[in-house]
Structure 1
Amino acid sequence: MSNVIALASPNNARTADTRPPTGAAATYTVKEVAELLRLSLGGTYQAIRAGEIPAKRIRGRWIVPVHRFHAWLDAQDDSEAAHPAA
Structure 2
Amino acid sequence: MQRPVVSLPTQPPTVAPDAPRRIVRLNDNRAVYSVREVARLLSLSLGSTYALVREGEIPARKLGGRWVIPKKRFHDWLNEATEQDNRASEGWA
Paired residue for 2:31? 26
How far the C-alpha of 1:23 sits from its partner, in A, is: 5.2
Higher relative contact order (CA closer than 8 Å, sequence separation 6+): 1
Paired residue for 2:65? 60
Identity among equivalent positions (%) equals 45
With normalisation by structure 1, the TM-score equals 0.69
Counterpart residue type for residue 35 of structure 1: R
Counterpart residue type for residue 41 of structure 1: L
Q: How does 1:1-86 map to 2 (within 5 A)?
A: 24-84=29-89
Asked which structure has the greater CA Rg, the reply is 2
C-alpha distance 82-23 of structure 1, shift in aligned 2 (>3 A): closer
CA distance in 2, matches of 1:48, 1:23: 23
CA distance in 1, matches of 2:41, 2:83: 18
How far the C-alpha of 1:76 sits from its partner, in A, is: 0.7
C-alpha distance 60-79 of structure 1, shift in aligned 2 (>3 A): same
With normalisation by structure 2, the TM-score equals 0.64
Aligned length: 65
Counterpart residue type for residue 32 of structure 2: T
CA distance in 2, matches of 1:40, 1:23: 24
5+ long unaligned stretches in structure 2: 1-25
